[in-house]
Structure 1
Amino acid sequence: MYRVRFNRSHPEYVEVVLREGAGPLAFAARRWVEESLGMVVISGFCGIPVYVAVGWYSSDARMIWAAIGIVVALGLLANFFVLLYRAHQDVYRLRFSPATAPDTLTVVRAVRADPPRPLTAVHRIRIEHKVTLSYKADREPVAEEITLHVPVRSGRRIRPAKLPSGTTDVAALQQELQQVLAPAALEVDLVVERRVEAQTFGGHGGSTGGGGS
């Protein structure tokens, strides 16, 4: 598992590294392989009207199998391009410059960086930490979700970044980010929400309740 880290190796800026390494093509290819089986099933199911129409006009089994193959192939291709688009939109790094007293933010995506924007265009930074606790008496965490929001007053919207759960100390992240941005007087909020999963008759849980701090 990777973790969010601060890169201070460059003399001109400080980077918050949200995602390591791989470019969008590798990311999309990996996700495509992971999701390919499910996409085959979904595409095959959605293509039922096509198979019925082909079977209506032809009783040749080869025509029906050819239709199935075409529908599944189109579904897999469409899914790959959707994943590739998402990879291009995902935020990999937040770059603050100059390093000593930042007044500029540059959003680094998969293979490109957005134009620098003044930190005055950023409303404030918010870290949301949602924790789901077990319904059992021990109330042990069973799931968590960490999201970094960078809302802006103007310009291109910055997509919320999902951070790695289980390896990211959100309190430490907030404190270090606040120290970096202190010269710009930009606030970094940490919002923690805890909820207890609901016990079902089958013994499995679902989220319910809520609370924030």
Structure 2
Amino acid sequence: MNLNLDFAAILERWPVFLDGALLTLELAFIATVLGALIGALGAIGRRSSHPLIARICGIYVESIRNTPLLVQIFLVYFGLASLGMKFSAFTVAAAALTINVGAYTTEIMRAGFDSIPRGQIEAAEGLALSRPQIYWHVVLWPAIEKVYPALTSQFVLLMLASSVTSQISAEELTAVANYVQSDTYRAFETYILVAIAYVFLSLIMRAGFWLLGLVLFPRRRRLGTPL
């Protein structure tokens, strides 16, 4: 059996692939920023002394972590449509990815919060720091520093998972690949190039997070701790 690979027709459509790759990065950026914010607030909520707030945050996290991303995307897409709220596929995809990664970020951040020694918080209270100051300087920022590698890995996984949004016609990289292979009848070659593209996108994101870590956490840089 001979395998005859022909990438010419695929490479001719490189502008379309570039647009898809940029949209994938745009989705990942929006979901990362908003998901990080939701994760921080959710982690604070899960550790709240108010049982109702802690329970609501817990239900959100467990509901998202125990259902497939594709089902969540369909729920957001068709749920909003059934309420008469019309949004573009890109907006729905960004919202669904944000909701998804927010739940996973919540658990990662909560692990970071739990790693902060109680004595450190008591020392901050002894210095008469306000509660917001304690959360920012003693709890939140050191917690983010400790779980930063896990957070960045989760955000890279989010970018890869964005391929599922092609099911609602979000024109990201996988959706573009589906269109190209149906037009050229070169499915194997198309998905080889897309796989390589995802590897490059992952490397770009990891490099970006590494540089960001150097700026945000100079102490880790001085100590040589992996970011």
- TM-score normalized by structure 2? 0.28
Q: Which structure has more strand as a fraction of its residues?
A: 1
- Greater relative contact order (Cα < 8 A, sep 6+): 2
Q: Which structure has more helix as a fraction of its residues?
A: 2
